[in-house]
């Protein structure tokens, strides 16, 4: 048993909407949490890096974030600067989880190998889910992990897949028991996007900036990156939400509506 602590940091709310489609249900005021782990030795680790207010897919979308919900301001409350962060864990690379990695220029960024490989074979409509402009320029900071991996004693990366090809959860050993940060592993969203008629997609592509879609020019660069990368070989497992629940005393979803910001989980 370890005595790491986890702090949920609320970084704002977002709404994804095609108001005039008559098909797409409004996904409204979704809370966006990242997490600060303080290890028992005092090391700060960040899990996920939230969304960009200027990059929310669908033409009638919006985000809300107060000054107090800016990542830099949240960390100030712990007397931490982004430059103090040496490790960032990305549960996955969707636009609402990976938009502020540039803050952590000194960190090693842990992501599953399959998350990168999956970008070469995106599922239908997934082109709106990833924004390589948010993070590709930091690829030299990335550490690619293939499967489950113990990052530190009492902190494990657990591959889940499902939500994305290389989605991972994080298990943290706290004094009160094991806590699992689920990321978005309980959900897949393809069914939402497939509700949009093809003509709406074509219209969206005409009015949206190209950064809202997967940019093919990155594919060859990703192939080269994978070929050259040093990969950490973990154990081969794909955990379900059910198995994660059995191995922990508490599971936490990144967009939970009942999560109390800044309250320590220890």
Instruction: Give the per-residue SS3 of the chain.
Output: CCCCEEEEEEEEEEEECCCCCCCCCCEEEEEEEEEEEECCCCCEEEECCCCCCCCCCCCCCEEECCHHHCHHHHHHCCCCCHHHCCEEECCCCECCCCCCHHHHCCCEEEEEHHHHHHHHCCCCCHHHCECHHHCHHHHHHEEEEECEEEEECCEEEEECCCCCCCCEEEEEEECCEEEEEEECCCCCCHHHHCCCCHHHHHHHHHHCCHHHCCCCCHHHHHHHHHHHCCEEECECCCCCHHHHHHCCCEEEECCCCCCCCCCCEC
Q: Does residue 21 register a pLDDT over 70?
A: no
What is the C-alpha separation between 226 and 18, in angstroms, rounded? 36
* Mean pLDDT of the residues in the chain: 91
What is the C-alpha separation between 122 and 135, in angstroms, rounded? 17
Domain 5-253 has CATH 3.60.15.10: yes
Domain ranges of the chain: 5-253
- State mean pLDDT over 131-149: 95
What is this structure's pTM?
0.94
For residues 169 and 178, is the Cβ–Cβ distance under 8 A? no
Sheet holding 27-38, edge to edge: 62-64, 5-16, 27-38, 44-47, 87-89, 108-112, 142-146, 231-233
Q: Does residue 260 register a pLDDT over 70?
A: yes
| pLDDT for residue 238 | 86
> Pick from 34, 38, 17: which is nearest to 26 by CA?
17
Q: Give the distance, in angstroms, between the CA of residue 140 and the centroid of all CA atoms in the same chain.
A: 18
Which of the four pLDDT bands, split at 50, 70 and 90, describes residue 169?
A: very high
Give 56-70 pLDDT, tens digit per residue: 987 788 999 999 999
| pLDDT for residue 148 | 97
What is the C-alpha separation between 133 and 204, in angstroms, rounded? 19
| pLDDT for residue 22 | 63
Contacts of 85 (CB under 8 A, 6+ apart): 44, 45, 46, 104, 106, 107
- Overall residue count recorded for the chain in this entry: 266
């Amino acid at each position: 048993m370890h005595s790491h602590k986890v702090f949920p940091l609320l970084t704002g709310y977002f709404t994804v909407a095609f108001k005039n489609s008559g098909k797409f249900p409004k996904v409204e005021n979704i809370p966006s949490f990242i997490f600060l782990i303080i290890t028992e030795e005092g090391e700060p680790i960040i899990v996920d890096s939230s969304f960009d207010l200027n990059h929310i897919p669908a033409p009638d979308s919006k985000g809300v974030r107060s000054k107090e919900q800016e990542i830099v301001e949240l960390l100030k409350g712990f007397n931490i600067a982004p430059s103090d962060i040496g490790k960032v864990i990305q549960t996955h690379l969707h636009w609402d989880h990976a938009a502020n990695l540039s803050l952590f220029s000194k960190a090693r960024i842990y992501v599953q190998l399959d998350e990168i490989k999956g970008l070469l074979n995106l599922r239908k409509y997934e082109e709106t889910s990833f924004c390589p402009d948010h993070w590709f320029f930091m690829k030299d900071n990335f550490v690619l992990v293939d499967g489950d991996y113990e990052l530190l004693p009492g902190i494990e990366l657990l591959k889940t897949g499902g939500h994305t090809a290389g989605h991972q959860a994080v298990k943290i050993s706290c004094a009160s028991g094991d806590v699992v940060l689920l990321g978005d592993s309980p959900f897949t969203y393809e069914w939402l996007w497939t509700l949009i008629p093809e003509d709406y997609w074509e219209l969206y592509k005409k009015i949206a900036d190209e950064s809202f879609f997967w940019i093919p020019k990155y594919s060859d660069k990703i192939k080269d990156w994978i070929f050259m990368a040093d990969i950490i070989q973990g154990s081969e497992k794909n955990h379900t939400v059910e198995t994660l629940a059995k191995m922990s005393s508490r599971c936490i979803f990144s967009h939970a509506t009942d999560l109390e910001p800044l309250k320590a989980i220890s």
